[in-house]
Structure 1
Amino acid sequence: MSSRKSVYLVICGILGFLITIGYYPVSTLQCVVCDSYTNGRFCADWDRFSFITNCSQVPRIDSSRPMACRKIYQTVDQTTVLRQCTNVVGHDGCIDRVGAQGVRTRHCHCSTDLCNSSPSNRKISGIHVTVSSAILFLVAIFLRN
């Protein structure tokens, strides 16, 4: 194998590794934005193609300040779910509160893309799959020559 091919493969390998572990510039935070009042059950069990919002484009968010995703559960007679973008309010994690007449709320904050989704929907992002596939394709073509 020529030294040119070796250098090319090393560069592709490093890029692939960095992309796979998530080391790429992120221009803004993406969160799931919906509520079960207006979006019904879909907000509780959303799919990867619905309700994803770029937080810097939400009018009430100050994009010059750190942003976070928020997920609020509220239980009165039934449980409702609210997912939204917010400016950072403290640390990541959840706070449980109990109010009058048995009203229970759980506020969860997090600061990575789509972190306010349901756990079963957290999958490898499309950018990881696309770029990794492109790198593998280029390596295969290069090795074939």
Structure 2
Amino acid sequence: MDSRAICLLSLIVVGFSIHIAYSIQCYQCNSYDDPGCADFFDNKTYVIHACPEDAKYCRKVVQQAYYEGEWHMRFIRQCAKEGELDATNPRQDWSCYDKLGTYRVKVKYCHCRVDGCNSAPTLSSKTILLGLPFLLAIFSHIDIRGLLPV
């Protein structure tokens, strides 16, 4: 395959991927009907979902309410159109804050702007697939015969 075809293929792949790149991906579940959504959350057993285009953040909500003589907790993970990050640290990708409600209700909101707020950083297959055509284009112009020892 010549270098022009590789460059054209790379541009097509990037063109189709730009839309995906702007849509944040978040875990979406509620511990009310899915106990596995609670902490300690095992993100390897959940599918990460693409959020609507207008969602800018992932959100984790921890609700605590006291009723029937005990505290009950609920964990909600979702996409968020709006959120609050620490304004004093613009490089921070996540932030949490607490709110107290009336009659024994506490809520903790955490927002982040990275795919899968609850996941460990990994090299995604999407990144590898996007980079592969560029690497092929670069290496197709390098004469590796001169780089190898005789």
Decide whether aligned partners of structure 1 residues 39 and 125 sit closer, same or farther in structure 2, where only a CA change above 3 A counts.
Answer: farther
Aligned length: 108
Which of 49, 62, 76 is residue 82 of structure 1 equivalent to? 76
CA distance change for structure 1 residues 66 and 50 in 2, over 3 Å: closer, same or farther?
closer
Secondary structure at 1:41 match in 2? helix
What displacement does 1:90 show?
A: 3.7
Query: Structure 1 pair 53/43, CA: closer, same or farther in 2 (3 Å)?
Result: farther
Are the equivalent residues in 2 in contact too, given 1:30–1:53 (CA < 8 A)? yes
Partner residue, 1:96:
98
Kindly provide the CA deviation profile for residues 64-98 of structure 1, in whole angstroms up to 9, marking residues without a partner as x.
Answer: x3521100001121221100001023435112012
Question: Which SS does the other structure have where 1:101 is aligned?
Answer: coil
CA RMSD of aligned residues (A): 3.3
Change (3 A) 1:100 1:114: same
Cα distance in 2, alignment partners of residues 99 and 87 from structure 1: 23
2:50 alignment partner in structure 1: 54
Q: Report % sequence identity.
A: 24
Do 2:64 and 2:107's aligned partners in 1 also have CA atoms closer than 8 Å? yes
> Deviation string for 1:8-56 (max 9, x for gaps)?
xxxxxxxxxxxxxxxx952411001001001113443233341411002
Please give the secondary structure, in 2, of the residue aligned with 1:100. coil
What's the counterpart of residue 40 of structure 1?
Answer: 35
Kept in 1, the 8 Å contact 2:55–2:79? The answer is: no
Q: Distance in 1 between matches of 2:38 and 2:108?
A: 16
Q: Distance in 1 between matches of 2:28 and 2:102?
A: 27
- For 1:51 and 1:78, locate their aligned partners in 2 and report how far apart those are by CA, in whole Å: 26
Runs of 4+ in 1 over 3 A off after TM superposition: 128-131, 142-145
One-letter identity of the residue aligned with 1:89: G
Q: 1:28 touches 1:55 (CA, 8 Å); kept in 2?
A: yes
Native 8 Å contact 2:30 2:75 kept in 1 = yes
Q: Would you tell me which structure has more helix in proportion to its own residues?
A: 1
- Highest CA radius of gyration, 1 or 2? 2
Partner of 1:110: 112
Runs of at least 5 residues in structure 1 that lack an aligned partner in the other structure: 1-23, 57-62
Compute the TM-score of the two structures, normalised by the length of structure 2: 0.56
Query: Structure 2 residue aligned with 1:126, among 124, 129, 141?
Result: 124
Checking the alignment, whether the CA contact within 8 Å between 2:24 and 2:55 is kept in structure 1 is: no
